[in-house]
Structure 1
Amino acid sequence: MKIRTVIVDDEPWARKRIATLLGTDPEFELVRTCSNGDEAIEAIATLAPQVVFLDVQMSGLDGFDVIEAIGVAAMPIVVFATAHQEYALRAFDAQALDYLIKPFDEDRFRRALDRVRKELQRPAEAQAGLQSVMHAVRPERKKFLQRVVVTSAGRLVFLKTAEIDWLEASGNYVTLHVGRETYLLRETLTAFDEKLDPEQFVRLHRSAIVNVERIRQLLPWSRGEQIAVLRDGTQFTIGRAFRPRLAALMSNAVTD
């Protein structure tokens, strides 16, 4: 079986260089080249490559944005490529899989392929190394989910979490409500909640999480209950245990 490989770089000459060198090794199969982060996310999600040569700095989504969107656990083996030595130093310190400094020669590229072969035999270590890289290059950022990839009618849909109006528990699935559209994601609501920015999303009861920006008003109800009304008219009874968190968020919004 050949090693399925994706190349991601916004510079045509770099994509061509990697593809040419990769073509000299019969163990590797190039399944796609990508010129930006959005294409990379789609390719990794749909083609399930074993290796990705990933440019660090690209216009739009950069290489680290791609990893955050896919998730470290779902990423293939990564060989970073960059023209900036500063990224390489931090990555090597964090025990990154490998780092190609542009421009690189054939000998350096072959050493990278040799290391890929070794890492494919120990994926857990490769994953731990990638996690270390992410902590090293973005230590100041809490890794809340910024994008989510869902399927709809046989196609991939890329959503920004800020576009989600509310989320609903559906057994072991989560239903995402985005305007008039709904999307099903195979994950529990509790697990998904841990990935969301708590300053942006709030749980109203056991089965629903709401984007705070979509709340239009809060209304009193009988027996001391409270109702949250979204901009589209959707209403939720707020669970007693979740009221303090909602009150704090709404208070901060008023203050800001």
Structure 2
Amino acid sequence: MTPLRCLLIDDEMLARLALRQALEPHTDITVVGECGNAEEAILAVDRLHPDLVFLDIHMPGMDGLELASRLPAGALPWIVFATAYDTHALRAFDAGAIDYVLKPIDQDRFDHCIARLLQRWRQMEAPPTRFHALATAARRMSVRVGEHHRVIRVADIDYASAEGNYVSLHVGGESILHRESMKNLELELGPEQFLRIHRRTLVNVDRVREVHPLFHGDAEIVLRDGTRLTLSRRFRDAAKPVLGLR
């Protein structure tokens, strides 16, 4: 399994150290950076592209809840809030958190949180099966468009791309904006049918026609309608068995 890339955001160094110690038994998670305030964090998320963020709620200046609201939804990592007050739990989930942990960290509760995260991560990386493909073909999703909802057959989506605070669903030459994070959309669409080829792109594997190697480990994916998308080096190993590459 590809390790989860994790960023720690807390204004207290000892709190970041406690998170590092709690993460030590979990070898499927790699800490790629630490930040002591929201301004540093915004730059780090854009530069490091973490899959997971542990985010303190109470920080001087911009707090964790405001920081979460300012991150672009299209490229939003999973967020686990760290807080000393369980009264913040509802606000944390309203801000898009996938979970929260209380300070001081209880290792059993923390391990339970990590187990759920890794289970979801494995589901996202699982290879497709015929049963899953048939289930995906029958599914629908609803997207708010103005004052009404547009119902889309999941199998009709060619690919999805991050667009600022939205994701754009590309369906038969039409682009439909949907306010959702790429990670949540990936779970909604189903990793058995939609392959992450870039931190900002998901593609319907049934639409892939050709794959052309590029420089530095990247590749170009050509869809049936001629659309060209980048398969980044970071996601190429996971894409190989799905696309039959060697």
The structure showing larger relative contact order (alpha-carbon pairs under 8 Å, at least 6 residues apart) is 2
TM-score scaled by length of structure 1 = 0.44
Higher Cα Rg: structure 1 or 2?
A: 1
